[in-house]
Amino acid sequence: MTLNVLERDAQKLGEGAGEMSSGQMATWEGSVEELRGLVSERAMTGETMLLNMGPHHPSTHGVLRLLLELDGEEIVTCLPDIGFLHTGIEKNIESKSYEKAVTLTDRMDYLSPMSNNAVFSMAVEKLAGIDVPVRAQTIRVICLELQRISSHLVWLGTHALDMGAMSVFLYAFREREKILDLFEMLSGQRLMGSYIRPGGVWRDLPAEFLPALQVFIDDFPRRVKDYESLLTKNPIWIDRTQGIGVVEPDEALAYGMTGPTLRASGVNWDIRKAMPYSGYEQFDFDVPLGEHGDVFDRFYVRILEFHESVRIIQQAMKNIPGGAFRSENRKFVPPPRAELGRSMEAVIHHFKLWTEGYNVPDGEVYVAIESPRGEIGCYLHGTGGNKPRRVHFKTPSLMHISSLGKVSQGHMIADVVAIIGSIDIVLGDSDR
């Protein structure tokens, strides 16, 4: 029977190949007519070739599909296609109370769950008016910067791997593993800890966390030098990256690019500096800028951000304020477990918060923070009840992928791989 199916498929394939003419093509669009206006007229006549890349291509960092129109090996048009990782997170949050929705946000940008937790928590805090103690803010800064390092490490490893530098991948993931161990200490989870919650963080820093973090921070700058010695002055790396995928500053702004991708084009905009949140204004750090806006600059800006994140963590570790690690406002934040045994009020609060949740006003807020990839924004609209009317995440990857067609125009196929790597996309982030 298996053979029959195979034979039938082979027959079909043969028929298809025989009938294939300029008006038909072997992609999911069905016919080239559907793409009129999106690809050039030459594709209509079959003069240029339409090639499907992905969604299972290893260099697309997940499930990104590109429809490339090629003239020889040169890209005439590049049409990105996303949605393969759409999980309906925004829709799901509409039926969850605010506290319970935090775990869903982890799953969006799976390389930086802490940023997602933070932006959602901050939107809820703004809408409901929940205070965040200073200790919680500093713990958040440490987490967010660790997350930035870990996310950049994955980017560095995979980007270099795409370009044929296998060893960087192994080194980068070795260091990332140490950060994941630190997150496990904090939240019990390596990847999706839901550690940052509305009102503060889930629990206080455990005693062994700061010494372990110190060991990592003392060691890490030396590791960055190792990566640099493998790549920054490597002539093959420079050949593959310099002058490729150039984005002019005004173009980057028009296409909504943010984060290191925007700063590599020389635009000095970092939300941590422009609109400080969670106490970022107390820390002394620089915003690395690029000049040319090419793949190399995007690479080098992120390498420099490693050092800046280390600086921020060092400053934060020196003086972590005392006090509560989450808000004492019992109407929004559950009481500590120990209180449940001796206070009736605590039991009531606990029960109310974990069954019904809390009500937030019927209003809308937009909160944006600097994730490792750029501006991640949360537009939150309450109903006056315990569930949101609408939550929308503005994600940097969506904007970056939408500009991919523009950036990769005129380059070779092999350069597209370099460009995808350099804009650091996460498909979970763009599809949500």
Partner 1 sequence: MSVHIAKALDPVEAMRKAHADALIDVATFKDEVTLIIKPETLVTVARYLRDTPGLIYNFLSDISAVDYFNPQGGYDGRPERFAVSYHLYSMLYNRRIRVKTFVAEEEPHVPTLTVVWPAANWLEREIIDMMGITFDGHPDPRRLLMPKDWDGHPHRRDYPLGYEQVMFSFNVEDIIKHKPNAKDGQEENTRQ
Out of 8, 12, 56, 91, the residue judged to bind partner 1 by CB under 8 A: 91
Residues 77/53, Cβ–Cβ less than 8 Å: no
CB atoms within 10 A of CB 68: 22
Out of 16, 243, 363, 410, the residue judged to bind partner 1 by CB under 8 A: 363
Q: Does 26 bind partner 1 (CB under 8 A)?
A: no
**Minimum distance of partner 1 from residue 429's CB (angstroms):** 13
Going by the DSSP 8-state scheme, the letter that residue 380 receives in this structure is E
Integer Cα distance of 401 and 416 in angstroms: 12
Integer Cα distance of 191 and 110 in angstroms: 8
Q: Which stretch binds partner 1 (CB under 8 A): 105-113, 164-172, 213-221, 252-260?
A: 252-260
**Minimum distance of partner 1 from residue 37's CB (angstroms):** 7
Residues 51/400, Cβ–Cβ less than 8 Å: no
Q: Which is nearer to partner 1, 93 or 196 (CB)?
A: 93
CB-side neighbour CA atoms (13 Å) of 295: 29
Chain centre to alpha carbon of residue 184: 20
CB atoms within 10 A of CB 348: 12
Q: Does 335 bind partner 1 (CB under 8 A)?
A: no
Integer Cα distance of 61 and 87 in angstroms: 17
Q: Which is nearer to partner 1, 126 or 203 (CB)?
A: 126
**Minimum distance of partner 1 from residue 98's CB (angstroms):** 13
Strand partners, 423: none
Q: Helix count (H) and strand count (E) of the chain?
A: 18, 8
Binding mask 145-184 for partner 1 (x = CB under 8 A): ----------------------------------------
Out of 370, 375, 415, 424, the residue judged to bind partner 1 by CB under 8 A: 375
Q: Which is nearer to partner 1, 44 or 230 (CB)?
A: 44
Residue 266 Ramachandran class (φ > 0 left, ψ -120 to 50 alpha, else beta): left
Site for partner 1 in 219-248 (CB under 8 A): none
Out of 95, 229, 329, 409, the residue judged to bind partner 1 by CB under 8 A: 95
Q: How many degrees, rounded to 5, is the angle at CA 215 between CA 214 and CA 221?
A: 90
DSSP 282-298: GS-------SS-SHHHH
Residues that bind partner 1 (rule: CB under 8 A) add up to a total of 46
Beta strands in 48-96 (DSSP E): 49-53, 65-71, 74-81
**Minimum distance of partner 1 from residue 145's CB (angstroms):** 22
CB atoms within 10 A of CB 269: 18
Q: Does 329 bind partner 1 (CB under 8 A)?
A: no
Q: Which is nearer to partner 1, 109 or 175 (CB)?
A: 109
**Minimum distance of partner 1 from residue 51's CB (angstroms):** 19
Residues 420/63, Cβ–Cβ less than 8 Å: no
Q: Does 429 bind partner 1 (CB under 8 A)?
A: no
Residue 330 Ramachandran class (φ > 0 left, ψ -120 to 50 alpha, else beta): alpha
Site for partner 1 in 115-144 (CB under 8 A): 126-127
Q: Which is nearer to partner 1, 219 or 248 (CB)?
A: 248
Q: Does 337 bind partner 1 (CB under 8 A)?
A: no
Q: Which two tokens stand for residue 261?
A: 């991708």
Binding mask 379-398 for partner 1 (x = CB under 8 A): x-x-x-xxx-xx-x-x---x
Applying CB under 8 A, which residues contact partner 1? 37-38, 82-83, 86, 88, 90-92, 94-95, 126-127, 253-256, 267, 269, 274-275, 362-366, 368, 375, 377, 379, 381, 383, 385-387, 389-390, 392, 394, 398-399, 401-403, 406, 431
